[in-house]
Amino acid sequence: MSSAASIINRYTKKLNHFVNYTKRLIFGVNSTVDNNNNNSNCNHNSSSSNNNNNSNSLGNNPIQIIYEYLSKLAASQTFSMDIYSPENSEYIKKCLLVMNNLNLSHVGLEDLSLNQIKRSACMGIQNNENFEMAIFILPKGAILPLHDHPNMTVLSKILLGRLHLQGFSRNIENNNYYVFMNNNEQSNSNVLQINQQIQTSITENCEKSISDSAWYLSPSNSNIHQFVALETCVIFDVLVPPYCFPNRPCNYYAFENETDKVLNINDNVLLKVISEPSNILPIPVKYNGYKPTEKVL
């Protein structure tokens, strides 16, 4: 998702006139937009005293449990393998189960104020080189446009509202179209070219709501997707690993043929790479909810 960091940053300055309005609607007058997000999607890590502001009242917050499972996943010898085959990963399965227990209170949000927002927002909960936890808020009618997650597994759970999801898988034998690399490795070959055509098939075309269980995409399955908010939505996302330019850049897509917007599962769809969309991507907003601490289960 969703979710992205280095991409969203470029728009923060353009949207300064909207920042104060957005933060008042979402978090109240004391909240601030985080402008220190320079390296990855929604990277708002902080070591301040507010790091665990809700821990006493919430006890074993599911966010903490998810963080600990992700930490164990990242430390395991099968980490890279689990990214490509999440269906076989013990820790990813455990994360999905815990995510089913998440609600707005666990991330410090209230649905009353959320229904007033007019602009999509993104909040970073936790970020490191191996995984990222983030919240996306989409007002009714907002679109998180077609984008990919190169060599990443992404777990998602809706905490509020209802959306329409379309997911696409690339039609190539080796669906991992980037070579998996560590964050400190460099390769400009991982950046797709504008107007480059991508053959895909649609693998998801459905509604998701708060009543649905957590789900995931993988490097080979539904890696390209888009959300359309049918109601004001809050989506909790886990990215394993996070976006990292140029190794794991976020690419955006459009339908090569407009008629392909009405699709059935397994239909072949030709997409093309486009420039980063303007004025519709979520803006980064400071996260004021529970933040996990480093400890072992």
Q: How many angstroms separate the first and last alpha carbons of the chain?
A: 27
Residue 175: CB atoms within 10 Å = 15
Q: Per residue in 54-97, pLDDT tens?
A: 433 445 899 999 999 999 999 999 999 999 999 999 999 999 99
Domain at 5-175+186-284, CATH from 2.60.120.10, 1.20.210.10, 3.40.50.1100, 2.30.110.10 = 2.60.120.10
pLDDT of residue 115: 79
Q: Per residue in 123-159, pLDDT tens?
A: 999 999 999 999 999 999 999 999 999 999 999 999 9
Q: How many alpha carbons fall within 13 Å on the CB side of residue 238?
A: 32
Does the pLDDT at position 184 exceed 70? no
| pTM passes above 0.75 | yes
pLDDT of residue 183: 42
Domain ranges of the chain: 5-175+186-284
Q: Per residue in 154-183, pLDDT tens?
A: 999 999 999 999 999 998 754 445 444 444
